[in-house]
Amino acid sequence: MSVPRFPRLARPARPARPARPARPARPARRALAALAVCAALGAGSAGSPAAARTASGDVTRTVAYRGHTFTVPADWQVVDLGKDPTACVRFDRHAVYLGDPGERQDCPARATGRTEALWVQPAAATRASVTEDRTSRVFRATATNEGIAVTAPYGEDRATIQRVLDSAGLPVAAARAGQPGEAPSALTVPAGATAYRGRGFDTCTAPSRTAMNAWKSGSPYRAVGIYIGGVNRACAQAGLTSEWVRTQYANGWRFFPLYVGPQPTSGAGSCQNRCVSITDPVPQGRAAAEDAVAQAAALGLDKGSVLYNDLEQYTRGGALTPRVLGYLGAWTERLHELGYRSGAYGGVSSLVPDLVDNAGKATLPDVIHFAHWNGEATTDHPNLPATMWADQQRIHQYAGDRTETYGGVTINIDRDQLDVGTGT
């Protein structure tokens, strides 16, 4: 806006300096700070004011979005998804994500692990609420004002996430226990939706409907791996809903649902020492199965569907082998009690030989999803006896971290060969 010019006037004598007004109380100071950030950055934008140091010595900064202000650690990256819609919303790194991601997130084929992060989206919130899923280690909150939905995962540092949410007036102390699968979806698909023979792919986040349509027309794949939950699921799933599952099923796609629960060690496979570990195998296995069923039901995957527990590469022996077998056995038994079939994903030099060597003593999954990137689209492998998982009970992940384009849509994927029946 242009400013009109006025004739220069003689400078009057400087008046005495007025006394400094009293400092506002803490709530007022917070409100004024939020207004200043919003004024500087515009409504609905992300703010990164100068860092401040708390009484405990932590360096923090405030981030404002839609009239709400969060105090976060100063070294957390702030990602404005409105300005960068291809950014991948991931929970294996410290970051703040603001807004809704675009249809074509640039996500890796595979990411595993969990740490503290924050994702704030627009939402038509009618009331403020905070829930906590202790199994998946995530807070979900809503707030009114301009309406936001908050997803706040955590790994080993729950206290940091508590401080972040408390700073925005979303008190963790008032959080109720909850998980996404509390109410079963009405849009169910049959158990046969997880049965398929042929080529498939898996990727870190469910592709958009546009992408799935393009790949249905141009790619050789007809099955897709979807990451339905788990404490170590790294990629957010903005588009993975019961409507998405129902639509893709009607379009001819079939699924292999993957659940990334506790891992053999914090550094297993792609975890980069950011995975929640198996420490109490049987209770954790049962809790993971219950959570996986809740997630599957929320997505409309009916009883009888196969749910795969993703166990990254580990070194066999010592305490790890019995830990893995106890966890996976409890997972399988609890899934059966709840009416679902059990699957397990793992490497041919770790999980597969542990299961084969303990076939007479351990409870085995119904379907094995084994990883060996040898480029061979078969479901046979020297480490798998021909008599085990022999009745349409196998998936082979035969290539990984491949970027492919069909119908103008590029996705980073792992390739899979499926031979999975409906089973019993």
* Together in a domain, 131 and 241: no
**Domain-terminating residue out of 154, 178, 202:** 178
pLDDT tens-digit readout, 334-345: 999 999 999 999
pLDDT tens-digit readout, 221-279: 999 999 999 999 999 999 999 999 999 999 999 999 999 999 999 888 888 888 999 99
* Together in a domain, 285 and 330: yes
Taking the CB of residue 314, how many other CB atoms lie within 10 A of it? 24
Residue 321 structure tokens = 């082998």
User: For the whole model, what pTM was predicted?
Assistant: 0.84
| Single-letter residue type at 399 | A
**Domain-terminating residue out of 142, 159, 178:** 178
* Together in a domain, 129 and 186: no
pLDDT tens-digit readout, 359-416: 999 999 999 999 999 999 999 999 999 999 999 999 999 999 999 999 999 999 999 9
- Name the residue among 135, 115, 164, 148 with its Cα closest to residue 275: 115
* Together in a domain, 280 and 203: yes
* Together in a domain, 71 and 197: no
Any idea which residue has 């019961």 for tokens? 242
HSE-CB at 393 with a 13 A cutoff on CA atoms is 19
* Together in a domain, 167 and 239: no
* Strand 148-153 relative to strand 176-177, pairing: unpaired
- Name the residue among 219, 244, 278 with its Cα closest to residue 411: 219
Give the end-to-end CA distance of the chain in Å, rounded to a whole number.
72
Q: Is residue 186 one of the residues assigned to a domain?
A: yes
Q: Is residue 23 one of the residues assigned to a domain?
A: no
Please check the confidence at residue 7 and state whether its pLDDT lies above 50.
Answer: no
Higher pLDDT, 43 or 320: 320
**Domain-terminating residue out of 178, 198, 219:** 178
* Together in a domain, 173 and 214: no
* Together in a domain, 310 and 404: yes
* Together in a domain, 145 and 275: no
Phi then psi dihedrals of residue 411, to 5 deg: -140, 140
Q: Is residue 13 one of the residues assigned to a domain?
A: no
pLDDT tens-digit readout, 72-127: 999 999 999 999 999 999 999 999 999 999 999 999 998 999 999 999 999 987 78
Percent with pLDDT over 70 in the chain: 84
Note down the domain range covering 384.
181-420
Q: What is the C-alpha to C-alpha distance for residues 36 and 189, in angstroms, rounded to an integer?
A: 50
What's the pLDDT band for 179 if we cut at 50, 70, 90? low
Q: What is the C-alpha to C-alpha distance for residues 362 and 367, in angstroms, rounded to an integer?
A: 15
Number of domains within the chain: 2
Indicate which CATH number applies to the domain containing 278.
Answer: 3.20.20.80
pLDDT tens-digit readout, 300-328: 999 999 999 999 999 998 999 999 999 99
Q: Is residue 47 one of the residues assigned to a domain?
A: no
Q: Is residue 194 one of the residues assigned to a domain?
A: yes
**Three-class secondary structure assignment of 79-110:** EECCCCCCCCCECCCCEEEECCCCCCCCCCCC
* Together in a domain, 199 and 148: no
Q: Is residue 212 one of the residues assigned to a domain?
A: yes
* Together in a domain, 320 and 336: yes
Contacts of 243 (CB under 8 A, 6+ apart): 187
Q: Is residue 174 one of the residues assigned to a domain?
A: yes
Contacts of 301 (CB under 8 A, 6+ apart): 188, 189, 193, 194, 228, 245, 255, 257, 307
Q: Is residue 284 one of the residues assigned to a domain?
A: yes
* Together in a domain, 398 and 257: yes
What's the pLDDT band for 12 if we cut at 50, 70, 90? very low
Spatial contact of 93 and 115, defined as CB atoms under 8 Å apart: yes
